[in-house]
Amino acid sequence: MIIRTMDTTWILCLLVLCNTFCIGAFSPLLPEIGRTQGLADWQLGVLAGSFSLARMIADVPSGALAGRYLARTLIASPIILLAGVLLLSTAAAFPVLVLGRILTGLGHTLSMVGGLTAILRDDHGPSASVRLNFFEFAGMLGVLGGLAWVGLLPAGWSWPVSLLAASTPVLVPLALTLVLRRRFPVEADHVDSASAANADASARTAPIVWWMFGIGALMALAWASVSQFLVPLRGAREFGLDRGGVSMLLATSYLVDLAVLLPVGWLADRVGRLLVLGALTVCVGLAVWGAGLGALPLFIMGCVLLGVGMAGWMLPLGILREHTPLRMLAWRTGLYRVGLDAAAFLGPLICGVLGESHTTVFIALLGAAALALGGRVLWRVLA
């Protein structure tokens, strides 16, 4: 009886909370992985970005799978995540590390696309944005937990042991199998299929949908470039931060994100998602400039502003829901995630390929694009 009366949102929040510990634990370990494995910058970029590449490839199939077999999608996610972490912890050759990172990306995709599909199916009323942000809150709390755990572990522990220790919460969702099967039984009606979505996608796609795709991708590009490459490597090389210092700096972004995430959802439900989204996109642009181009005080301020801007991570998806028929929801959710994950893959990869000498040009252009797009959204709402 207790299981039947549990709110779906809280079950999904617990799932994503436990699944994201291993994601938060990875970034502070990146400089150490590079040193001990003898990896070049471009290899570090590939290793960091392969997580998002896997998500990009798996997004649309995950959307189709979640539309048909939601429980199976959610149950498979921690199993695949655990397999990826175990592969990474072998500290084997570069291709094996990349494969492990790809598996963690696939597992995370299943939990995110499946969880978002479950929430968006019932995303209506005055608390729509808050429910989405609760889901994001749980994910950020898991990432922050992974960051904090790695920072508190003994400095003498090797990076594979630290990664395994910080990733143990992924075992918790394995015990949720029965709960997920009861809450999300197999559906006979497969209205979310890709073929049904493709049949009338062109007639149903409003211009605002493409705007949201663009803003979501830009946010992902900024987040991945800053958190997965610039902060760990720039913090260690330019500012002399150790593993704990990098963890604390990254944790600052996530703490700020957690602090403003639910108020942002509440505000968006009352003054409008577009208005709040435009302001937060401007914050992302300023964050990119500060973290990528500034001295230490601006570097820290960039991390703070990144946390503020990332509080709007779910707002484009909520606006998409307003313009998406229910039958196309899982398909379009997966398609939207393709843009995000493609951008998140390209961010650290571009930074790694360009190297320290040319990354500043890319960061300057990225910050300018975020400021321009955020300003355009604000102009549309306020004009």
Which single residue is written with the structure tokens 């207790």?
Answer: 2
Question: Does 103 have pLDDT greater than 90?
Answer: yes
pLDDT at position 204:
57
Length of the chain: 383
> Where is pLDDT greater, at 155 or 79?
79
pLDDT at position 17:
92
Alpha-carbon distance 282 to 37, whole Å? 38
Write the DSSP symbol of residue 144: H
Alpha helices (runs of H) in the chain, residue ranges in sequence order: 2-5, 8-19, 21-37, 41-68, 70-88, 94-120, 128-152, 159-166, 177-183, 194-204, 207-225, 235-237, 243-271, 273-293, 296-310, 315-322, 329-382
Which residue segment(s) compose the domain that 79 sits in? 2-382
Q: What is the mean predicted confidence (pLDDT) over 39-52?
A: 82
Give the model confidence (pLDDT) of 324-350 as tens digits. 777 777 777 778 888 887 887 788 888
Give the model confidence (pLDDT) of 221-240 as tens digits. 998 888 878 888 888 888 88
Q: What is the mean predicted confidence (pLDDT) over 265-269?
A: 84
Burial class of residue 378 (count of CB atoms within 10 Å of its CB; 0-12, 13-18, 19+):
middle
Give the model confidence (pLDDT) of 298-324 as tens digits. 988 999 999 899 888 888 887 887 777
Question: Does 20 have pLDDT greater than 80?
Answer: yes
Question: Does 50 have pLDDT greater than 50?
Answer: yes
Q: What's the CATH code of the domain at 65?
A: 1.20.1250.20
Give the model confidence (pLDDT) of 112-123 as tens digits. 888 888 887 765
Give the model confidence (pLDDT) of 149-206 as tens digits. 888 888 788 899 999 999 999 988 888 877 777 777 655 444 444 444 444 444 456 7
pLDDT at position 196:
46
Alpha-carbon distance 283 to 32, whole Å? 31
Considering only CA atoms, which of 87, 74, 320, 83 is closest in space to residue 197?
320
Sorted by sequence, the CB contacts under 8 Å of residue 377 that are 6+ apart come out as 211, 215, 274, 277, 278, 281
Q: How many domains does the chain have?
A: 1
Q: What is the mean predicted confidence (pLDDT) over 205-230?
A: 85
Alpha-carbon distance 47 to 96, whole Å? 10
Asked if 281 and 370 count as a contact pair (C-beta separation under 8 A), the reply is yes
- Which of 72-81, 83-92, 224-233, 363-372 is the least confident region? 224-233
Considering only CA atoms, which of 311, 275, 287, 298 is closest in space to residue 222?
287
Which single residue is written with the structure tokens 């009366």?
Answer: 5
Using a pLDDT cut of 70, give the percent of the chain over it: 90
Helical packing angle, 21-37 and 159-166, nearest 10°: 180
